[in-house]
Amino acid sequence: MTKANERTEQSLFYKYRSQFGLVIMVSLVVLFFIITSPSVFLRADIYFSFLASVPTIGIMALGLTFILALGEIDLSFPSVMALSGFLFASVYASTGNFFFAILACIGSGILVGIVNGLIIAKVGVPSIVVTLGMQFLIRGLSNLLSNGTAIIVRVRGSLSHQFLVGKIGNVPLQSLWFLGIAVFLFFFLFRHKFGEHVLFVGDNVEAARMMGVNVDWVKIGAFSLMGALAAMAGIFDLYRMGTWWPTMGEGYLMMVMAAVFVGGTSMFGGEASIFGTFLGAFMIGALEAGIVAAGLKGFWTRFIIGLLIISAVVVHTLIRKRK
């Protein structure tokens, strides 16, 4: 091997050392589960189960990656998931039309994102305050509209069910949707002008303004994308479960945030990793099943997720300081 090739390999490793570290971390977690529970983790069934459940977390985590790269935060997406899911279930139950239902669902998610973005960008209210208030507002709205009752959505066996959550062999289609969305958003963030502006604004908002970036519209666009992806996650969850529940989305906030932080996206803005979020979603989504299968009580889940978040953030921060 020539010295030039050696330098190229070293530079590639240095450039992507955070991603390499995450791959090693995921591999160690899987290896731990294989050692502690080989009867479960040496069978393919458990991994196909992850492929069915993780996309709900992962799709929202991809949206949150844009928000954190922007230097903002969104706490409202679990409630957006619930409200959009309710609208989809209601429209589908009353009309039987999948396209009307999906328009109502995605449209409502985008609308909430626009409202969040407008208040944050135009009024200047911090995103943590706006989205916290929106979380309570639309959670309450979905409960008021539904009167706190569940809605059964009879989609099983339909063409849309096969299209969204069917299987190719043993592979759940929602995992392929998740992969496709991740690939699209990777190029959208790193190869499209909008993504460049998101990272620029997150790195230095005043410099971005001086360079002619429309900061307000970038923020509104990012929050709209987050709303659309939260609504999409609601559709996949609804199709997987066959029922809309007033509690839809509850419990996802910390898991989604954990997936993004473990994946290496900076909470200070200006840096993001779609690949890291993709792997982080599978790691966080697999933890609970792995912990139970390993013979530990489910109470360990939050403890281990918290340990992973702190460890990952510390490691990623130390890596950035060495750049």
Q: Is 168 helix (H, G, I), strand (E, B) or coil?
A: strand
Q: Could you name the CATH architecture of 40-254+269-321?
A: Orthogonal Bundle (1.10)
Contact 265, 272 (CB under 8 A): yes
> What are the two backbone dihedrals, phi and then psi, of residue 12, each rounded to the nearest 5 degrees?
-65, -40
pTM as predicted = 0.90
Domain boundaries, the chain: 40-254+269-321
**Exposed / middle / buried, residue 87 (Cβ in 10 Å: 0-12, 13-18, 19+):** buried
Q: Inter-axis angle of helices 300-321 and 252-262, to 10 degrees? A: 30
- Using one digit for the tens of pLDDT, what is the confidence trace for 268-306? 888 898 999 999 998 888 787 777 777 777 677 778 778
Q: Can you give the pLDDT at residue 6?
A: 47
Q: Which residues of the chain have pLDDT under 50?
A: 1, 3-4, 6-10
Alpha-carbon gap, residue 128 to 75, rounded angstroms: 7
CB count within 10 Å of CB 107 equals 15
Q: Can you give the pLDDT at residue 113?
A: 97
Q: ∠ CA(155), CA(158), CA(161), 5° rounding?
A: 70
Q: Is the CA virtual torsion 77, 59, 283, 173 positive or negative?
A: positive
Alpha-carbon gap, residue 212 to 263, rounded angstroms: 31
Residue 236 tokens, joined? 């996949």
Alpha-carbon gap, residue 294 to 151, rounded angstroms: 35
Contacts of 141 (CB under 8 A, 6+ apart): 83
Q: Can you give the pLDDT at residue 13?
A: 56
- Using one digit for the tens of pLDDT, what is the confidence trace for 57-72? 999 999 999 999 999 9
Residue with tokens 């900061």: 215
